[in-house]
Structure 1
C-alpha cells in the first residue's frame, strides 16, 4: 500500500549497546563510537562528535577502516566517501558548526560484525581507551503480571553500570536460552493457559559484560482471555502510516474515532535487518508505549511487514534462519499476537523470497503458538492474482496457519463502482480459498477473508466513498469476514484535499470513515 514520505532519520538518544570512550582529537574535539543495535550478521552504529575545546568548531571529518567482510550500507546525517575499506564521513551543512560543549551525531547500518579501526577526527586520533570489564548490577524488583491465557509480562527496575548506561537485558524463561530486550519489561507470548512459568533477568552493558541473573520469579497464565481482545477477535484494524510526520498517535486516534485496534505500517529492510521505514530499530521497542496504551484500552495492534515502498525483508535476507531471526526479534520486542505481511510489487512474483518467507513464518508460529498471521495481497474484483494464489499456497504447504488473507481492494484502474468491486473481490477471494482449503467450511473461509480498501480517492482517480464503506461493512457483517481494514487512518483524520498520502480528497468530516468501519463487530 502507498505510504507517505518517511521520517528524516534522527536517532539521537538511541539506547547504546556498545560504547567506546572518546579520546581527545585535534583542537579539543572528540569522537565516540557506539553500536545502537547488534544482530550478529550486522549492526547499527553511530559516532558522536563533541567539541571539548574553547573555540567553535566549523567542520568535522571522521575517518576509519572496516575489516574485510564488513561494510557500510545506509547512513544519515553525514556525507560519505569510500576508498576500498576506508570510510570518510564529513558533516552536512546543518551539523558542522559546533560551539564549545556541543555535539553532533551521524550513523549508519553495517553489514558484517567488524567495527571501526584507525579512527581519525579532523586528522587526530579517536581511538578507544582501555576496555570496560565491569559488569552492571543485577536487575532488582523483578515481578511477573498482566497475565492472559497466552502471555505474561515481566518487569524489573533498571540496573546501573560504571559506563553510565546499561545497554539492555536478557530474560530467561524456565532456564532456556535468554531473549535480548531493551527497556525494563518483556512480554512472553504463545504460552499455555493455566500454566506456571519462571523467569530470570540479567543486565548487559555496552562492552558486553553481563550481570548475574536475578532470583527466579514465577507467574501463571489465566484460563484464557485477559486484558485486550483474545486471538482472532481484532475485526477492524485500519493501517496507520507510522512514517508520516508528525508521528501518528494511535491512542489519540482511537479516542477520536471509536476504533480499538490498528495495523502499524511498515517494517522494511536495511540489508537483512528489520527497520521501521529505515529509521528505527524495532528491537528497541519504538512506539511500544502506543501499543501498550491500545491494549490497555481493550484493543490490539498488528505490525505489518512490507508495503509498496522500501526493501522487503524476505528479499533482503538470503536464508530462512536470518529472516526468521528478524521476524522473531520483532515479535519478542512487542509481544505480538498479530503479524501482517503486506506483499506487493516484485515481491509477489519472487519464488525464492516467497518460499523463504513461508518457511520462516512456519518456524515463527512454532516458536509463538498464539501468533496470528495475515497475508495482505493485491486483488482484482475477480479475486487474487495468480501470484497471490501462489503466495497463499506456499504458506499453506510450509505449514503456516493463516488467520486472514487480506485483499487490497483498491486501484483497479477500471471504470467500476468501488463499493461493488470490494464486495466482489471478497466473494471471489473466498471462492479461491475454498479450492486451496477444501476441508474448511464456508463460514471458516469467510473468517479467513479480509478486505482493505483505500479511502476516498484512489491512486487511479476512482472513489471509494462513505456509501461504499457502509456497503462493505454491511456485507462483512452478513458474512462474518475475518477482518476489515482501510488505507489509511491519518488520511481519514486529516479529512482534507491535497496529496493522496495525506488526504482522501472527498467531502468528509474527520474520522467519518473510521466511525463507519468501527461498527463492524465480526
Structure 2
C-alpha cells in the first residue's frame, strides 16, 4: 500500500498495439495510423507498417505532418528526426527487415490532439495506393447494457476492426434517436427515468467517415428510486493485511470494531498465477470461511490485487487471455462482487501491463456484469500523478466501468497537515475525474472517489491522527464519496508503538479509527 515518495516520469514506456495487417493495394507496403489511447490534451499514437509486397523490405521510413499546437513527445521503436511540424520516423536495427506479409509498429505520445496528415512510407503514399477508402468498419459485437442506476445505464461492446487499422469512434443510438459519439468501447447514458427500459444500438466509424451497420439492439432498465447512485456499495472497507502473522480474523475484528466490510490485501503473482502474497492459492478458497462469516453478518469483502510489494499479475502474465483467466479464477472462487487493483510503483508507469490489465478487466466485467471494480492509486494533494491518470484513462478507454478510483492519501514527504491534504487530494481527484467523465453528474463523479489514508505515523514520519479521520468522515458525508478506507486494520487493532507494519505509533485505543470511520455509510 505504501507509495513511493517521488513522482514517476510521465511515461516510462508506452503500449504498442499490434494491429491486424490492414487491407492494402496489391503488392505494395502500407502504414496505418491508430490512436491507441486518448485523453483531454493528447493521445498515444502508432503506425503499423505492413509489407504487402512479394519481396522483403530491408528498411522503412514513415513521415507526416502534425498541425500547429500538436507535437511528438516521447516515442519508441523508431528513430526520429524533426523539421518544424514535419516528423520522420525510421526503423530501428531490430524491426527494419520485413518479409512479405510481416509488419512492425512504432508509436509516440502526442502533446495535443491533432492527427497526422500527408503520410508517406518510403517516399510513397502510406495507403499503399491512391484509391479512396470506401470500406466501412466491422459492426461492434458483444454489446451489453448494465451498471443500472435510477438515472443511468452503461453500454459496453467489443471493438470493431477497419481496413485502415484505425476505428475513429463509435455512435450509440438510444431508442432510435440521434447517436452520441465516443472513442472508447463503453458509453454511460445519463438523465434517464427511473424504472424505465431503454434500447441501444452501436455502430463504428472510421477516419474516412465510413460507418458500419448498427449492432443488434439491446435493452436495459434503470432501477427505481430516482437519480441517486445505487445502494449496496462498500462505503467503508479498510484494508487488512492478510499476510500478517498470526493471520488476522476479519469476523473477530468486525465484531470488536463495528465495521462490516474489509478489503483483503493482497493477491500477487507467482509467475503468471494468482497467489495470496505468494503463499496460498486462491483457487483453494483460502480464508473463504472468514469471507462467508463476514457476509453472514451483513457485510462483504473486496479482494485487492497488487500492492507495493510483490508483482501484480498484469506484469507477470504475457497475454490478456492468461491475465483474464487468473482474475476470473479469483472472482469465481470467492463469488466476488468487488475487486480492487492497487497499482503502485513501476506497475503504474508500465504502459504494456496497464493496457493488458485494462483489457482483461473489461473482459472480466463482461463475464461478471455486476462486478464492481476499483483502482487504488498514488496521489498528491494536487491529484493523481500522471501515471495514475493514465491507468484510469486506459481502463476507461478499454470499456471498464469503474466503481471507485481510490487514492492513497499518504506519504507525501511534505510539511503539510495530512488531514487537510487528504481532503485536498479528494477534491483534486474529483476535478480530474470530472474531466475524464464529462457525461457524469457531479454526484456521480463524487461517488467514484475513494480515499485511503495511512493511520497514525506514515512512512515519511508525518502523522494522520483521529482528528484527521473525523475531518475526512465529515467531508465524505457532505460529498457522498464512493468509499473510505484506511491502511491498515491490524495496526488500528494493535494500537501500539513499534514497527510500522504492526503499529500506528500514536496514542489511541484499539479500533479507535475503525469506530470513527464506521460512522460513514455513504
TM, length-normalised to structure 2? 0.57
1:288 aligns with 2:361: yes
For each residue in 1:190-217, what CA deviation from the matched residue of structure 2 results, as whole angstroms up to 9, or x when unmatched?
Answer: 8664233343433323423335766866
Shift of 1:338: 1.8
Report the counterpart of residue 45 of structure 2 in structure 1.
45
Aligned to 1:408: 454
Q: Specify whether residues 90 and 229 from structure 1 end up closer, same or farther in structure 2 by C-alpha distance, changes over 3 A only.
A: farther
When residues 64 and 151 of structure 1 are mapped into structure 2, their CA distance, relative to the original with a 3 A threshold, is closer
Alignment match, 1:510: none
The alpha carbon displacement at 1:134 in A equals 5.0
Q: Which residue of 2 aligns with 1:450?
A: 485
Does 2:16 match 1:11? yes
How far apart are the structure 2 equivalents of 1:243 and 1:368? 31
Higher deviation after alignment, 339-348 or 128-137: 339-348
Unaligned residue ranges in structure 2 (runs of 5+): 238-260, 264-301, 318-322, 492-497
Cα displacement (A) at 1:476 = 6.0
Kept after mapping to 1: 8 A contact 2:3/2:378: no
Asked if 1:264 is matched to 2:341, the reply is yes
**CA deviation map 1:333-375 (0-9, x unaligned):** 32233223456759999x99997755555688994359666xx
State which of 401, 405, 408 in structure 2 corresponds to 1:339: 405
CA distance change for structure 1 residues 126 and 218 in 2, over 3 Å: closer, same or farther? closer
1:15-34 deviation per Cα after TM superposition (whole angstroms, max 9, x unaligned): 99xx8x65799xx6443333
Q: CA deviation at 1:451?
A: 0.8
Please tell me whether the aligned partners of residues 144 and 152 of structure 1 are also in contact (alpha carbons under 8 angstroms): yes
CA distance in 2, matches of 1:22, 1:74: 29
Distance 1:8 1:190, change over 3 A: farther
Equivalent position of 1:110 in the other structure = 110
SS at match of 1:47: strand
Greater RCO (CA < 8 Å, at least 6 residues apart): 2
Q: Secondary structure at the match of 1:286?
A: helix
Q: Is the Cα contact below 8 Å between 1:251 and 1:290 reproduced in 2?
A: no
The superposition leaves residues 377-406 of structure 1 with CA deviations (integer Å, 9 ceiling, x where unpaired) of: xxxxxxxxxxxxxxxxxxxxxxx5786532
Structure 1 range deviating more: 276-285 or 426-435: 276-285
Q: Unaligned stretches of 5+ in structure 1? A: 269-274, 317-322, 374-399, 415-420, 457-461, 484-520
Deviates more, 1:217-226 or 1:45-54: 217-226
Q: 1:332 to 1:427 in 2, by over 3 A?
A: farther
Q: Deviations over 1:293-347 (max 9, x none)?
A: 7955x75211346558xx976889xxxxxx9xx9799399322332234567599
1:336–1:279 distance in 2 versus 1, CA, 3 Å: same
Q: 1:312 to 1:267 in 2, by over 3 A?
A: farther
- Which residue does 1:34 correspond to in 2? 34
Distance verdict in 2 for CA 1:452–1:477, change over 3 Å: closer
TM alignment of 1:212-223, pairs within 5 A: 218-223=219-224
1:249-260 correspondence runs (5 A): 249-254=326-331
Q: Which residue of 2 aligns with 1:69?
A: 69
- CA gap of 1:240–1:370, structure 2 versus 1, over 3 A, is farther
Give the TM-score normalised by structure 1: 0.57
8 Å Cα contact 1:37/1:45 also seen in 2 = yes
Query: Judging changes above 3 Å, is the alpha-carbon distance between structure 1 residues 109 and 254 closer, same or farther for their aligned structure 2 residues?
Result: same
8 A Cα contact 1:231 1:372, kept in partner: no
Q: CA RMSD in A?
A: 5.9
Counterpart CA distance in 2 for 1:207 and 1:267 is 40
Q: Does structure 2 conserve the Cα–Cα contact (< 8 Å) formed by 1:78 and 1:89? A: yes
Matches within 5 A, 1:473-488: 478-479=515-516, 481=518
Instruction: Give the aligned length.
Output: 417
Structure-2 change in CA distance of 1:244 and 1:352 (3 Å)? same
State the Cα distance separating 1:245 from its structure 2 match: 1.7
Q: Is the 8 A contact 1:139 1:203 kept in 2?
A: yes
